[in-house]
Amino acid sequence: MTDAPASTAPDTPAPADTPASSRQRRPRTVWGRARRHWLHRALAGIVSVLVVLILVAAGLVAWSVRRAFPQLGGELTLPGLSAPVTVYRDQHGIPQIYASNARDLFLAQGYVHAQDRFWEMDFRRHVTAGRLAELFGESQVDTDAFIRTLGWRRVAEQEWSMLSSEARAYLEAYAAGVNAWIEQTGGAAPTGDKSLEYSLLQLLNSGYTIEPWHPVDTLAWLKAMAWDLRSNMSDEINRAVLLGSGLSRAQIDDLYPEYPFDRNRPIVTALPEPPKHPRAPAGEDLSGGDNPAADTDVVAQAAPALAGLAEAAAALPALLGTGGAGIGSNSWAVAGEHTSTGKPFLANDPHLGSSMPGIWYQIGLHCTCGIAVTGFSFSGVPGVIIGHNDRIAWGFTNLGPDVTDLYLEKIDGDRYFDGEQWVPLTVRKEIIKVAGGEPVTITVRSTKHGPLLSDRSADLLSIAARPPVDPDGDPLPTVQPAPTSSLDSAAPDVPEAAARSPYGVALRWTALDPSATGEAIFLMNRARDWESFRDAARFFAVPAQNLLYADVDGNIGYQSPGLIPIRGAGDGTYPVPGWDPAYDWTGYIPFDELPSVRNPEEGWIVTANQAVVGPEYPYLLTMDWSYGFRSQRIVEMLQERIAAGPIDAEVIRQMQVDNRNGIAPTLVAALRRLPDRPAAADLLFNWDFQQGADSAAAALFNVFYRHLLLRTFDELPEGRGLDGDDRWWIVFDRLLDEPTSPWWDEVDTPEVEDRDDILGRTLADAVAELTAAQGDDPAQWRWGPLHTLTLTHATFGTSGIAPIEWLFNRGPGETSGGSAIVNATGWEPLEGYEVTWVPSMRMIVDLSNLDDSRWVQLTGNSGHAFHPNYVDQFELWRTGQNLPMYWDRASIEAAATHTLTLHP
């Protein structure tokens, strides 16, 4: 990847007068597709004129964008400190904070985070509290209502009292640092002294004032993290929607094949002793079998309702990712027996949705109190999320357990049936303040399983008349499509149709159970060894992650944490009847019975969202793993590299940017067997299956693959589920052995197509598209110009107003890689080839010498547009390079370009 071609300079945005038709498609940002142009509507007219006038006045522009740049050197007063604190920053704006005690350390971290990222922090807390309408007006009432129904902030408030006094003190100190910065930059006034975004917000909402930061704002952000990594909820919805489109459960099973344990190994291969609490009975078979419900006049399908839930969920801010399939992460640890240093290496690159600024903030925290840690933090959260201290290193990948279930509920007015009797719904009122408008009151109704999301979605109301089960709760093997119900969008309270509906949909989700996840961050930062690391992991409730470990003593390990439910009946793949207590959760898997391994015999551990354990594990973790192609490729590379000699940091860097496509060899072999094919297909037959930006073969293959998905699965409603997940690789692998499978037949043609018909037509489609886009010489085709990444600002980046987008967005830049590849630059086949999720950072920790560790993030540490550190790491990230992850104080001081002293 080091030879990737140059792209549009990330710090030189496209001109303001770039025609809309020539701009790249923007990746989905926090608003989702349904709210793409809210800002365009809000700021049309006068705001556009004002912004253009500002841009003409170049001197005023410079002042406007630079006035919020933080002071990085010299001296400042920080009220609340007990002693001076020193902050060193290198040329990339990465702060290393030195304090004499823990309270001062976290107070300074809050101050530094606010210096660089306060707009991001302020926006996030409005999202998690369901208060976006206070910022942006009436257009965000529906989003706020959905989040209020989920109740993230309410749960976070309950968690505050569950934390230790030490953790609460750290959170309070962090909040004090943020608030000190707020006061020093004008207090509650949302001016351009804080960030350029506030200058624009004043044009839209002149009455907005900034509130002090509260520790619960931090805890609520952890709920947003859990939402974006909520595992298989979208798969559960998709199955029901496909059922409602006319597919049978057997057909849907074809599209959701079982995990290929015979080819892709799980994370943990050796299980501990049998558990003390074996899995609850699996309950009745939910496959439907040959026993359709008898009363077909009473029951129909609820798939359109669940599609409504999918749309509502997609419209919520995706603060960590797109929430779609294909999102994942890579991590691996290699023991010293296989390394050039004799000590372990730990590598991690979480795959999340691209954003501007990037999701991570690099920082080092050091004090004489025993805290010394460097790594990746979240603005708004004290401590380090992923990184290392002086003894251990750790990384995260998404475990992906099934921690959500959708329950169909029988509703009668203000009560619901719990399986034994009619009991009152839990009801509360929420008042949503609206900028420029009157407050809106909503009613949130809940059952024992959770909030009724059907009150917030028009399509979900169709479940009132058409549940996907019969009145006894038995599932239908097939259903007939039906139109969805309508909902008066002007009635944000419980609409009349929902109030009289005989059914509803409730969400059971582990993140709505209060927990002490906030405690885990501080404990992990201070862990000294494997046992104290596991003790920290016990508090990590949501989102459940694969925790990878290595230490300076030479140990490597893996631990699954988190609240993972034990179900009575059901396997979490379809919505279930809430009136049947057999489907209730019976508890959580005990921590000591979750998968774990320390110093495995092979000398390495790989986690990349594959199955954690094999089918012999006595508990159900999920039925919807990633299918293990990334993890198996990493395993194969490790085996090859180890056989060739000791592994070093450069080998690991090369592995992190590996571009090999795992399904390409299988599909190319099938194309080779076609009797008649275009000459351009020869590109594929000498291809190494690496998807570099310069590769002509990668361009042809990916265009072919996209058309193959669309042609083969034209039965799916609006292409539902056609994403970048490697699930489709398994589906195609099996379909290629069934040349006359009905899936190959195109539904809109009179003839019956077979496998070779579709392969041939699809290849012709790909050649035609590339010829039109890049010319008639196949040797000149390139993957990079198709597979571009635009760094899109989370709030103003899709305004539809070119001058505003010019201020905040950067790119596009050409990238290598692709979906389900180790270098996971994901794309959505239904929309095109542009990148939507990415390795959000890359880290390599050398446990023999922490000062030799390496890191990089997607954009830069600063959240201020046009700041030198706004996007200064993008080119390094794009070309597979990285930066020194300084640890020793001498190295930190030598690399410092600014030194700031904070005084009491």
Whether 863 and 120 have beta carbons less than 8 Å apart is answered as: yes
What is residue 718's predicted lDDT score, i.e. its pLDDT? 82
Q: What's the sign of the alpha-carbon dihedral 328, 330, 331, 337?
A: positive
What are the start-end ranges of the H helices in 689-836?
A: 696-712, 727-735, 755-774, 802-808
Residue ranges, the chain, pLDDT below 70: 1-63, 271-327, 457-470, 476-492
Alpha-carbon gap, residue 658 to 843, rounded angstroms: 15
What is residue 498's predicted lDDT score, i.e. its pLDDT? 75
Q: What share of the chain is helix, strand, coil (3-state, %, to 5)?
A: 35, 20, 45
End-to-end CA distance of the chain: 48
HSE-up (13 A, CA, CB side) for residue 176: 17
What is residue 489's predicted lDDT score, i.e. its pLDDT? 56
What are the tens digits of pLDDT across the range 754-786?
999 999 999 999 999 999 999 999 999 999 999
Q: What SS3 string covers 414-476? A: CEEECCCCEEECEEEEEEECCCCCCCEEEEEEEECCEEEHHHHCCHHHHHHCCCCECCCCCEC
What is residue 689's predicted lDDT score, i.e. its pLDDT? 98
b (16+ CB within 10 A) / e for 726-745: bbbbbbbbebbeeeeeebbb
What are the tens digits of pLDDT across the range 57-79?
455 566 677 899 999 999 999 99
E strand or H helix at 607, and its extent? strand 604-607
764 is written with which tokens?
């012709």
- In 3D space, the residue among 609, 623, 632 whose CA is nearest the CA of residue 395 turns out to be 609
Q: At what angle do helices 215-228 and 165-184 cross, to 10 degrees?
A: 100
Alpha-carbon gap, residue 661 to 683, rounded angstroms: 15
CB atoms under 10 Å from CB of 756, counted, come to: 16
Whether 65 and 866 have beta carbons less than 8 Å apart is answered as: yes
Whether 449 and 405 have beta carbons less than 8 Å apart is answered as: yes
Long-range contacts formed by 172-175: CB under 8 A, 24+ apart: 172/215, 173/80, 173/102, 173/103, 173/104, 173/106, 173/107, 173/110, 173/382, 174/106, 174/107, 174/109, 174/110, 174/215, 174/218, 174/382, 175/110, 175/212, 175/213, 175/214, 175/215, 175/217, 175/218
Alpha-carbon gap, residue 772 to 770, rounded angstroms: 5
- This prediction has a pTM of 0.89
CB atoms under 10 Å from CB of 537, counted, come to: 23
What is residue 235's predicted lDDT score, i.e. its pLDDT? 87
Alpha-carbon gap, residue 176 to 845, rounded angstroms: 32
CA angle 53, 58, 62 (to 5 degrees): 115
Pairing of strands 404-412, 576-577: parallel
**What are the distances in angstroms from CA 809 to CA 149, 526, 786, 799, 867?**
32, 37, 19, 11, 13
Question: Radius of gyration of the chain from Cα atoms?
Answer: 27
Instruction: Give me the DSSP letters along 114-136.
Output: HHHHHHHHHHHHHHHTT-HHHHH
Alpha-carbon gap, residue 706 to 648, rounded angstroms: 37
What is residue 723's predicted lDDT score, i.e. its pLDDT? 85
**What are the distances in angstroms from CA 519 to CA 360, 509, 525, 535?**
20, 20, 10, 11
37 is written with which tokens?
């142009």
